[in-house]
Every structure is written in C-alpha cells, then in structure tokens.
C-alpha cells in the first residue's frame, strides 16, 4: 500500500476518532478518505487486537496515527496484553477508555479501576487520554478528579448537553462531536457544540458507526467527517472552511502531532 493519493497534512479534514481497522475498512478506506479530502486520521484501539491493528495500519500511512486502549466493555480483560504496544511508533493516545453503564459488559468497579489505570498511563507516557463515557458522567468526572486529569484529554463522541460540556471544559478537555450532532433528536448535543470554545472543538466519525444524517443506517466512513463539520458550522453560524481549518489544527494540538 502506497501513499500516492496525498492531501497535505496542513489542509483537508481531520477525523479525530475512527476505527479504520474494523470491518471492511483498512488501507482502502485510508486511500478513499484522502480522495474525499481527509488529511489526518486518529485510528483508535479498544483492546489488544484492535490496538495492535491500529498501530500496524498507522505504520503504513503518513496521515494516520494510532491510540492504544481498553474499552470499558472489555475492562474485565485487563491491561497486560497492551503493554508491548504503548511505546510503538505513531501512538499518540491512550484509549478509548472510560465508563459505560448503559450495557455494563464489565462490572462497574472493574471499569473504574481500568479507567484509572489508563489515566495513569496517559500521564506516564505523555499521551492524550481518549474518553468514552455513557450514562456515567458523575463517575467519569470522579475518577478523573481522583487520578488527575491528563494535560491532553478528549471526550470522544460527546453525547452530553451544556451542563456536561461545561464540566468537561472546566477541566481543560476537548469535546469531539460525531454524527450524532446531525440527528434531529440531539438538541442537547447541538447546544454543547454551540457553546464549546473554538480552541476546544473537535469532530469525528467514529466510523464504521454513527453515520451522520442523511446517511443514517449506512456504514460510516472517514470521509463523512465533512458532513459533521458542515452541520457544526451551521450550528455555530460560521463557515465550513473555518471549521475544517479549526478542527484540523485542534486535532493536531490535542494529540501533539507536529
């Protein structure tokens, strides 16, 4: 696989959270994303296998970086298998990790323990913490307070409203908005996107999940980050070009990409 279809890393869209290693994506999805104007992708791990695949994929592409982490669904598995991956080249984040009380595939106490462990790793490794939180806002902020918030922390696929946004912003976090912000029933998320300071705003696809309207029900892809950006621009009464430039540079800062 070559990088012959190139979008300058200082131009184009940034997808701050995508699972390129899942389902029918991979190298072909990276090339397709470039053709659709995406110049920076953060490929996110959720366990040992997906983190390993993210690292391998990032090693093949100049415009892809990886994160290594353990999703709360799989917290019972523990962090030991991830140890060889933390220092791999192009790893810029720890996660996605956090708390998910909607499904509770792992016990809550185990989720909190593993989340705290990954917060400590983000500090030790100087990597960005990528947070998944669902129906667990109070405990998420409690664990962060107990373990100390890393200097670079991202709330991925932000699903809260203004209250939760303010709490996250008050601890210095970035808010990353997915296709959910385009849904008709997501007024609270749109309100959070409207109040988010420009310097704290990110966008993502979470592909292959959460295709934005009008593509709901279809497998998502990183090129659709542009649709998320268009809706965020409308919500914030600014131009699409401004959102593209702003969120790309914010992604570089959030993940310390030079």
Q: Which residues contact 119 (CB under 8 A, 6 or more apart)?
A: 94, 129, 143, 144, 147, 148, 149, 150
Q: What is the pLDDT of residue 24?
A: 81
CA separation for the pair 229, 223 (Å, rounded): 11
Tell whether 4 is covered by a domain.
no
Q: What is the pLDDT of residue 132?
A: 98
The count of structural domains within the chain is: 1
Tell whether 141 is covered by a domain.
yes
Output the CA torsion sign for 138, 128, 97, 182: positive
Tell whether 139 is covered by a domain.
yes
Query: pTM for this structure?
Result: 0.95
Tell whether 144 is covered by a domain.
yes
Tell whether 5 is covered by a domain.
no
CATH code of the domain covering residue 41: 3.20.20.140
Tell whether 3 is covered by a domain.
no
- Domain of 243 in residue numbering reads as 13-254
Tell whether 25 is covered by a domain.
yes
The residues of the chain scoring below 70 in pLDDT are 1-10
CA separation for the pair 173, 165 (Å, rounded): 9
Beta strands across the sheet bearing 153-155? 13-18, 38-43, 64-68, 91-100, 128-134, 153-155, 174-177, 201-203
Q: What is the pLDDT of residue 2?
A: 42
For residues 179 and 213, is the Cβ–Cβ distance under 8 A?
Answer: yes
Tell whether 55 is covered by a domain.
yes
């Amino acid at each position: 696989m070559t990088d012959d279809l190139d979008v300058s890393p200082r131009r184009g869209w940034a997808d701050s959270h995508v699972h390129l290693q899942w389902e029918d994506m991979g190298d072909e999805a990276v090339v397709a994303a470039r053709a659709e104007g995406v110049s920076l992708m953060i490929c996110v791990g959720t366990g040992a296998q997906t983190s390993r695949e993210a690292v391998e994929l990032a090693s093949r592409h100049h415009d892809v970086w990886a994160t290594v982490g353990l999703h709360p669904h799989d917290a019972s598995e523990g962090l030991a298998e991830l140890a060889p991956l933390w220092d791999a080249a192009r790893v810029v984040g720890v996660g996605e990790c956090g708390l998910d009380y909607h499904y509770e595939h792992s016990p809550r106490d185990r989720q909190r323990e593993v989340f705290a462990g990954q917060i400590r790793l983000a500090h030790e490794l100087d990597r960005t913490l990528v947070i998944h939180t669902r129906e667990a806002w109070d405990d998420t902020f409690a664990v962060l307070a107990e373990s100390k918030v890393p200097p670079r922390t991202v709330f991925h696929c932000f699903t809260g409203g203004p209250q939760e946004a303010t709490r996250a912003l008050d601890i210095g976090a970035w808010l990353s908005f997915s296709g959910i912000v385009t849904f008709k029933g997501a007024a609270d998320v749109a309100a959070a996107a409207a109040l988010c300071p420009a310097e704290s705003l990110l966008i993502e696809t979470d592909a292959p999940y959460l295709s934005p309207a009008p593509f709901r029900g279809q497998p998502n892809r990183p090129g659709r980050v542009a649709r998320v950006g268009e809706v965020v621009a409308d919500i914030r009464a600014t131009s699409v070009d401004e959102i593209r430039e702003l969120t790309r540079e914010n992604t570089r800062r959030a993940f310390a990409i030079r």
